[in-house]
Each structure stands twice: as structure tokens, then as C-alpha cells.
Amino acid sequence: MRGNNVVGIIFSNMHDDTMQQVTNIRTFGSVPFGGRYRTIDFPLSNMVNSGVNKVGVITKSNYQSLMDHLGSGKAWDLSRKSEGLFILPPFGNGNQMYSNRIEALDGITSFLRNCNEEYVILSDCDMICNIDFKKVLDAHLDTNADITIVYKNGEMPDLGEPVVLELNSQDKVTDIVVGAKKGEKVSWSMGYYVMKKAFLQQTIAEAVSRNRSNFVRDILQRGVLENKIYGYRFEGYVGALDSVQSFFRVNMDLMKWDVLRDLFNPMRPIYTKERDEMPTRYGLGSVVTNSLIADGCVIEGEVKNCVLFRGVHVGKGSKLSNCIIMQDTVIGDNTVLDYLISDKDVTFSDGKAMIGTESYPIYVSKGSVV
């Protein structure tokens, strides 16, 4: 299956309400992650690495930072005269802003109609993973499925609307249940769907004509008996972002070598917007242990089990542990931070102390002065 016969559709905002503290000023797809990335970098890079040359990104609100990050798509080799990256407007038919996934897909009818590709990949931005969509497409063709759902078998993360699949020995979906207890071992959907473009168009048109608005309940659950729905089991690492706590935990997972190697496979790199910075400078009294430090930082204190984004300054005598410090944050001298998430452009004055817990890390909003 050739990747260039596939168009990718990425929903940049479908889970904004799960991390309102972080998404208050940005859409979910532009949430910073891992020192230098945004969450949209993962589905976008996965598609590009799988040979998908046309990707549409559906926007909604607070998407200025997303547009600044994506630009023309050059970082993902999607800046082209034809095909490439398309920013799709946040309006459904009739110039009304969409309120659900079906309305969003109905609103991009003209975009889909003008696509020559035969297949569609639908993706959200809440799953941090490195997946080869070529294998998903091959499985979709082998089973002659109408819809292929990528799923993970294991403990159920605390998703807002968890989709649990029941499958037979051939991975055919026999039932779909919405809802499961966190921690239960189940086969749960990762929110990646593959289908023919014509099938998607027909299904969305039918749903709109019958005033159906819920993609999972009105298309997937109703379609179990009517359509051939198969699952594709993904075996790699998946970090599900569904709360501030999970955002903290998944960032901390990057300290594990097996997770780091799986996510950032050099054969399938994760691309992002480049920002030319000087190398990080470490002062004479600095101590750094088990941390990810982006370029452009100045470290003069102690940093342990932390993720530091670009341009962070850690003052003399300061001690940071179990922290996520986003871009251009300045931490004064003799400051103690533990289990804390700092958004961009925050200033911590000298001598401050802020200590959270692993289950409830402290969050400091963008531009704050502490």
C-alpha cells in the first residue's frame, strides 16, 4: 500500500477540555511536550514517515500558536506546490463553528472532495507514540475492512470517553463499549481510524441527514453489525494525555531508556519546528541528573529528573526535581521546585519554594511572576 494514496486528517482540539489549565491559551495540538516538541508533532511525523504527503489539520479555537508552530509545514517536508499541509478552518457548513467530530468532518467536505487519495487516516493529538501507519494500511487491505481502529491492549488510561473494543481471534470487532474503569486490562481505542475516503464521505453524509452527532456511538457502535470493523493492535509505547497528571507522568516517562528509544527511533524521527539556539551552558556549580535539557538553557543550580525546554535559566543554588519547565522560564537563585509544571515565560524570584506531589503536581500558568 502506497502512503501517497492516503490523506491524513488531524483533529487539533478534540481533547481541549481534559487539560484546561494547559489548553486555556492554546489548542491541544500545540501543547508543549518533551523539551522541544508539540503534541501534534507525533501524529504528523507518523503520517509523514509512513509516506502520507497530504495532511489536513482541523482547527477550532486558540489556534494561533498552532499556526505559528506548523507554518508552511517545512519541518515535516510538507511545504509543497501541490499536496502538503492544509490548515482547515474551524467552521462547519453554514459558517457555524462545529461542536463535534461529525460536524467537523462535514465542514471539510469540499477538502475531501478535492482529494485524489483513496484512503483516509483520522487522528487526534492526545496519544504520544511512534506508529508505522503503513502496517495499519496493509492490515486494513488484508482484512478488506470498512474501518480499521488502532488499539492498545493493557491497562485502561483515564480517558474522558474511553472506547473499549471486543475482538475475535481475527481481530474483527464484535462489540464496542464506551466506558471502562481506569486500570482495567482491556483493548482500548487509540483514536486512529483508517477507511476509504468514499466510505467516510458517505457515512458522514448519512449521519448528518439523520441528525446524529456522536462519532463513536452513532458511527462506530451502530456500525459493528452493519460494517466490517477490524482492530490493529499496536505493541509500542503509548502515552495517553487526558489530564494534567497524565501530562506530567508521560513527560516523566521520557527518563526511561526503553520509552525514549521507542518514541524517538532514528529510523522514524519525530520532526518539529526548529529554533536556532546556542548549546546549553552548564555553570561550575551545576549538577544535572537523569534529565532532558533542551538547547539554549543556562544551568547554574541542581536539576534532577526534570524536563527543561529551550531557553530555561536555572539560578545559582536553586534545586529542581521532578519538574517540567517550559520555554524561556527564568528561575532565580536559591529556589526550590519539586513536582511542578511551569508554562512558558514564567519568572521565579530568588528564594522561592514550591513543592507539589506526584499525583497533584503544581501548575504555574504562562507569563506568571512568582
Distance CA 38, CA 19 (A): 14
Superfamily of domain 281-364: Hexapeptide repeat proteins (2.160.10.10)
Q: Do domains 3-263 and 281-364 have the same CATH topology?
A: no
Q: Angle at CA 64, nearest 5°, toward 58 and 68?
A: 95
Distance CA 44, CA 73 (A): 10
Q: How far is CA 348 from the centre of its chain?
A: 29
44 has pLDDT over 50: yes
pLDDT score at 94: 57
Which band of pLDDT confidence, cut at 50, 70 and 90, is reported for residue 64? confident
* Terminal CA-CA length for the chain: 54
Tell me the one-letter amino acid at 7.
V
**Where does residue 220 rank: exposed (0-12), middle (13-18), buried (19+ CB within 10 A)?**
buried
95 has pLDDT over 70: no
Distance CA 44, CA 66 (A): 13
| Mean predicted confidence (pLDDT) in 76-104 | 80
Distance CA 332, CA 100 (A): 44
Distance CA 32, CA 249 (A): 14
**245-272 tens-digit pLDDT:** 999 999 999 999 999 999 999 999 999 9
Residue boundaries of the structural domains of the chain: 3-263, 281-364
Higher-pLDDT residue of 301 and 216 is: 301
- Give the 3-state DSSP-derived string for 257-274, with helices as H, strands as E and coil as C: HHHHHHHCCCCCCCCCCC
Phi, psi of 341 (to 5 degrees): -115, 120
**Percent of the chain surpassing pLDDT 70:** 95
Q: Can you read off the three cell numbers belonging to residue 309?
A: 525546554
Positive or negative, the Cα torsion across 268, 270, 276, 278?
A: negative
Superfamily of domain 3-263: Spore Coat Polysaccharide Biosynthesis Protein SpsA; Chain A (3.90.550.10)
Question: CB 8: neighbour CB atoms within 10 A?
Answer: 27
Positive or negative, the Cα torsion across 79, 83, 84, 85?
A: positive
Contact between 286 and 331 under an 8 Å Cβ cutoff? The reply is no
Kindly state the DSSP code that residue 221 receives in the 8-state scheme: I
321 has pLDDT over 70: yes
pLDDT score at 1: 46
Average pLDDT, the chain: 90
Strand partners, 195: 120, 147
CB proximity list for 206: less than 8 A, separation 6 or greater: none
36 has pLDDT over 80: yes
Lowest-confidence segment of 19-33, 258-272, 315-329 by average pLDDT: 19-33
Contact between 77 and 272 under an 8 Å Cβ cutoff? The reply is no
319 has pLDDT over 60: yes
Contact between 132 and 6 under an 8 Å Cβ cutoff? The reply is no
Lowest-confidence segment of 39-48, 65-74, 95-104, 305-314 by average pLDDT: 95-104
| Mean predicted confidence (pLDDT) in 89-95 | 64
pLDDT score at 295: 92
**What pTM was computed for the model?**
0.93
| Mean predicted confidence (pLDDT) in 12-20 | 75
Please state, in angstroms and as integers, the Cα–Cα distance from residue 362 to each residue in 130, 299, 323, 357, following that order.
29, 22, 9, 8
